[in-house]
Amino acid sequence: MYSIAKLVTYLFLLLIINLNMPIASSAEKMNLLLISSYHPNFPTFYQQIDGLKSVLPVNKYNLDVEFMDSKRFPGAQTEKSFLKYLTNKVKNLPPYNLIFTSDDNAFNFIVKYQDELFPNTPIVFFGVNNLQNAELQNKNKHITGVVEATSIKETIRLAQNIIPNLSTVIAISDGTASGVSDLKSFLSLHKDFSTLKLSYLSLTDLSWDEITKKIQSLNSQTCILLLSAYRDKNNTPMLFTESLDLIITNSSVPVFHLWEHGLNEGIIGGKLISHFKQGMSAGIIAKEVLSGNPIENIPVKTQSPNITILDYKVLNKFGISINNIPSDAIFINKPYSIFQKYKNILYVSGLIFTFMTICIFILIINIQRRKNVENQLRKSEETFKTLYNKSSHYIGLLSPDGKIISTNIPSLEVIGLSISDVCGLYFWDSPWWRGTGDEKKLQNELKKVANGETVRFFSKHNIFDNQEIIVDFTANPVFNEDNVVTEIIVEALDITETRKIEDRLRHIEKMESVGILAGGIAHDFNNMLGGIIGCAELMQKHLKSNPDANNLNNMIIESSEKAAELIQNLLVFSRKQQIVSAVINVHKVISDSIMLLTHTIDKRTTINSNLFAKSPYIIGDQSQIQNVILNLGINASHAMPDGGILTITTSSIFLDQSFCSSSPFTLSPGYYLQIDVSDNGCGIDTDNIKHIFDPFFTTKEQGKGTGLGLSAVYGAISQHLGAISVYSKLGNGTVFHIYLPLSSDAEIN
């Protein structure tokens, strides 16, 4: 059963056909003959045929074609053979209703043998370049047509306007009739271009090899105007595509043309003759003649509808600006916006939509109420399906008891199943929820929805290649006219990235807040410790005679100095410690640090270094960078109580804008030195890794760690405008990634 929309469309089309098309008769198709000057592979032929067929449909006209092939085989003998062949053919076939000729040779042939071959038969020519001969046919009551006039002057003017410092235009021509005629027109334009030198290369004097060498020697202030190139002085023929390829391949300057063929093959374009429009114009004249208008009432059309067409890729190839190109020019191969590319489709879609709206309005007035309701329901259903399946949310439809009725396409794609695989399952037992631990909660919440409530909660899922995601889940009841829940709409939105961004912002705010607090406390403690240490050192002079009291005093000094070290770490973390900026060779710092670690950590620990970075130079404080390496090295040794492998690796890396924007550190795009400090120790669990850089956070026993080592590392890296991150898995070791900006742009290994 056809939809109402389709029915209305068909009725509308039938109405248009009945209003605009003549009533079909039982008469046979009209027979037409096209005499082509050239051959089927000539580049203009199919464009001409398409132009004819655009106004002379094949269901009403039989179009026969004969080829003179005069481009490849010129001369009287060819004409004589073709006349004999055509005379024999005409005698043995039903008469033609109308004759077409394309291009000059066929036109001249038909004028010469008109009375002998086709007496009293209407003849329509096109593609004729000889304006004088064409206009003479206004006195011939059986011949009319459309002239093909080249725009040589306009094309040279175009070249002069768009090519800076153009001094010479070289025309390429051959000995064909059209080639000789066009070259004559070209050379007659000297007075119109006083600042240009108009020269030519003629294949009547040159072989293909000789003209190739001439083309290769042209200078950059020259352009080529291709008029005709089909046969050289040795009478060796080439197809247009072959000669054009020879010219384009060997030319280092732009090549202009006067016809559409050759576009997209390397020519830059010009003000071009459209063979499609030539054929279409001839078809329009023929249609008028066949409708009963005598040819003597239809004068020869002498205006050739030429168009400026340019190849955007070739313009770019020669660095030619489009600023001086006429506003009515047409570009091929020009990149377009989505709207420009599909604007015709959008316009047609808009027209179709408008038309359908009008039709629906008419139907609302004239058809039964039931049909109107069906149409509105259908339209609503299509709109719903579009919104349903194109949404970025995961949407499903459930029965009141929680069974799946349908889901949108994104929901199915995420689990790799079809609707038949999940339809009828209880929602809490489906692949989306099975194994989340929230199955019972979902079941209870859906019972509330079945009673008319709306529910919303957050849940964790593991359906993306074992990647855990967080979804914002909502369920809404759908009521019927009696206010009874008939269906449940469920919707889930992946908010994993949003949560990560929120966590990152909270982390940045927390570290900033803790840094401000730590900096303030550190300064106050530093002042207090300064007083304590000063007083204790003064007391040493008075306690020399009391060894016990002196020992206690020394303990005060030692404890105060250790407290001062903690304060220094707090200052580093809060980035309030002054750094000494200098160019540092980080490879040397690492080597020195490894030497210190060798004498400090467990002898069972092996230290490896892979210093691959080509440029190890940064600007910063050498002592702080060394403390970073030592801190990470000592922490790694603590994670390997029975010994293991500690590896320090460097490399060069470019951090782009995307990486810098997503980092919690203040980074600028550019080249960085990457330092990786890794161990194969016990690793760090997920809960602890979130707090690893927090001041005073430690997993060591009380009294064995202050929790400020990694905080100081974090502060030092931040103060050097770098970044640090950590990856670890219990039982699989830990790796710290450090990024420090290089002192100058350096090559990546």
pLDDT in tens, 463-499: 655 677 788 889 899 998 888 888 988 888 887 777 7
pLDDT grade for 526, boundaries at 50, 70 and 90? low
| 368 or 584, higher pLDDT | 584
In angstroms, the CA 502 to CA 458 distance is 15
* 626-636: pLDDT as tens digits: 888 888 888 88
Lowest-confidence region among 25-39, 142-156, 284-298, 532-546 = 532-546
* CA 491/CA 485 separation, integer angstroms: 17
Whether residue 91 has pLDDT greater than 80: yes
Split at pLDDT 50, 70, 90, the class of 658 is confident
| pLDDT-based confidence at residue 565 (cuts at 50, 70, 90) | low
**Crossing angle for the helix pair 622-638 and 586-598, to the nearest 10 degrees:** 40
| pLDDT tens-place string over residues 724-748 | 989 988 888 999 999 999 987 444 4
pLDDT, tens digit (0-9, with 9 covering 90-100), for 714-723: 878 888 889 9
Predicted confidence band of residue 337 (pLDDT cuts 50, 70, 90): low
Query: 157 Cβ partners below 8 Å, 6+ apart?
Result: none
Q: Rounded to 5, what percent of the chain is helix, strand, coil? A: 45, 20, 35
Residue whose C-alpha is closest to residue 278's, from 251, 306, 258: 306
Lowest mean pLDDT among 145-159, 223-237, 537-551: 537-551
- 125: pLDDT strictly greater than 90: yes
Give the mean model confidence (pLDDT) for residues 140-163. Answer: 92
Q: Kindly indicate the confidence band of residue 286, based on its pLDDT and cuts at 50, 70 and 90.
A: very high
pLDDT at 505: 59
pLDDT above 90 (res 435) = no
H or E stretch covering 620:
strand 617-620
Residue 388 CB partners (closer than 8 Å, separation 6+): 395, 408
Residue 71 reports pLDDT greater than 90 = no
Token pair 């004088």 in the structure block, residue: 132
How sure is the predictor about 253, in pLDDT bands with cuts at 50, 70 and 90?
Answer: very high
Question: Does residue 19 or residue 380 have the better pLDDT?
Answer: 380
Per-residue pLDDT averaged across 587-615, rounded? Answer: 88
Q: Looking at the predicted structure, is the pLDDT value of residue 641 above 90? A: no
- For position 543, what pLDDT does the model report? 72
Alpha helix stretches (DSSP H) within 416-495: 419-422, 439-450
Give the pLDDT score at 27: 55
| pLDDT tens digits, 10-49 | 544 444 444 444 444 445 789 999 999 988 888 788 889 9
- Angstrom distance (rounded) from CA 320 to CA 164: 8
Which two tokens mark 135? 């206009």
- Of 361, 332, 288, nearest to 124 (Cα)? 288
- pTM of the predicted structure, to 2 decimals: 0.39
What is the mean pLDDT of the segment spanning 641-669? 89
pLDDT at 613: 92
Percent of the chain whose predicted confidence (pLDDT) is above 90: 36
The residues, any chain, with a CB within 8 Å of residue 36's CB and separated by 6 or more, are 42, 45, 48, 65, 66, 67, 68, 102, 103, 106
Contacts of 689 (CB under 8 A, 6+ apart): 726, 728
pLDDT of 101 strictly over 80: yes
pLDDT at residue 367 above 60? yes
pLDDT of residue 573: 47
Query: Is the pLDDT confidence value at 181 over 90?
Result: no
Give me the mean pLDDT over the 373-387 stretch.
76
Mean pLDDT of 399-405: 88
pLDDT band at 520 (very low <50, low <70, confident <90, very high): low
Q: What was the pLDDT predicted at 123?
A: 96
What residue type is 746 in one-letter code?
A
Q: Across all residues in the chain, what is the average pLDDT?
A: 82
For residue 698, is pLDDT > 70? no
- Give yes or no for residue 285 having a pLDDT over 80: yes
Residue 545 pLDDT > 90:
no
